[in-house]
Amino acid sequence: MQDLVVVGAGPYGLSIASHAAAAGLQPRVFGRPMAAWRDGMPPGMFLKSEPWASNLSDPKSAFGLAAYATTKGVQARHGVPLPVGFFASYGLWFAANAAPPVEERTVTAVRPRAGGGFEVTVDDGDGGGGETFLARTVVLAVGVRPFADVPGPLRALPPERVSHSVDHADLTRFKGMDVTVVGAGQAALETATLLAEQGTAVRVVARSRDLNWNTIPPPLERPFGDAARAPHTGLGCGWRNWLYARTPGLFHRLPTSTRARVFTSALGPAGAWWLRARFEPAVEVRLGESVAAAAPAGGRVRLDLVSTRGSVDSVTTDHVIAATGFTPRLDRLGLLDERLRRRLRTVGGSAAPDTDTVFETSHPGLFVTGLLSAPSFGPSMRFVFGATYTAGRVVRGVRRRLGTGSRDTRPGELREILPAGAAPVNWMERF
């Protein structure tokens, strides 16, 4: 029986695997390393987060993004966006140097076992039937793809006419076409910009009355008063972001209804500051409108749009890309046994699993991370930044469940890896 299975090999899965191996465990890690970054983002996209807030986590903090940049003879500088492809390559370098080997196979089923533990089924992808084995603990680090949201009116469209922004590693198929992008966040605005820059006729439809744009980040070194008014954090400047970034343990202590509400409202859709000058002259925008109905129309799609004032208009387009975010719902986690999903305690009125302080769900031995844990620990878990807080905590919980931990095992530290010369900060270890 395996002690630990990690499902997923993105930033969270690789970070947890690195900490687990350092703790003397022998995890089996499944997935395609950095798959979402390699398969779901087209060339030309950039990281929205600052480079120093985009580290995967190893116990000695030796394999951060800046260290990888050094191996390439470049600097990961504050205020300079990095290409997504560079970040994906960094993740592969981390996997090769800081984590145990990853098995590039797909976990298709996780079932609870009478007497404790789990039965895990893995598909080899070659039609051979795969493998089923037993595991004492399972960590789900499945990323965001299973939780992609598509607005209800679009769901009945044929797949050749509608997709989600996460489905596209290459946008060139849309050259010479007319595309409508639904959404107002970075994915929507950057996807639309890339489409326009390749010659696609594109419009953005958003229910908000205005687009929000992040401001240019101030220098890391600032006068004390400026820094005190709006401190830097891995989620952006400001005291509210500071609380989300540095006190997820305190967030976890809030009532579940409050956590669920804050999760759905905090850090709403916004575009990166560096995208605005490219977007505004190139993309048609229809604000204050929502898709009320969608139907095939002569090989294209007719969208009925209703405004906040109640007026209705229609648009005909070749394809609709829903850049409408992700919602962590247990019913979308098809690999997890249905009866187990129904039994898990959830956060407030949401369909996301509730966890304890070490990310363990109400079913012993089952841990969740990333977006699935965001309603429990706050908005930082929606970003790579949250992997540093998560990894050590999860391994602590796994060791406790296996009986190999101890009372004085240090919890995972919430640490921001800053550029050279800036000291890392550890916060709220008691939480």
CATH 3.50.50.60 is the classification of domain 2-147+326-402: yes
Sign, CA torsion 40/44/48/51: positive
pLDDT of amino acid 127: 63
Q: What is the pLDDT of residues 76-126, one digit of tens each?
A: 999 999 999 999 999 999 999 999 999 999 999 999 999 899 999 999 876
Fold match flag (2-147+326-402 vs 152-213+270-322): yes
- Domain range summary for the chain, segments of one domain joined by +: 2-147+326-402, 152-213+270-322
What pLDDT score was predicted for residue 147?
Answer: 95
The sign of the CA dihedral 52, 225, 382, 16 is positive
Mean pLDDT by 10 residues, the chain (431 residues): 96 98 96 93 93 96 97 92 95 98 96 94 78 96 95 94 95 96 97 98 96 92 90 89 90 90 87 96 97 95 94 96 95 95 91 96 97 95 96 97 60 38 35 32
Q: What is the structure's pLDDT at 264?
A: 84
Q: How far apart are CA 170 and CA 198, in angstroms?
A: 11
What number does CATH give the domain 152-213+270-322?
Answer: 3.50.50.60
Query: In terms of pTM, does the model score above 0.85?
Result: yes
Supply angle C-alpha 397, 141, 402, rounded to 5. Answer: 25
- Can you tell me the distance from the alpha carbon of 151 to that of 157, in angstroms, rounded to the nearest whole number? 11
Position 418 scores a pLDDT of 41
pLDDT in tens, 295-324: 999 999 999 999 988 899 999 999 999 999
Question: Residue 346 has what DSSP assignment?
Answer: B
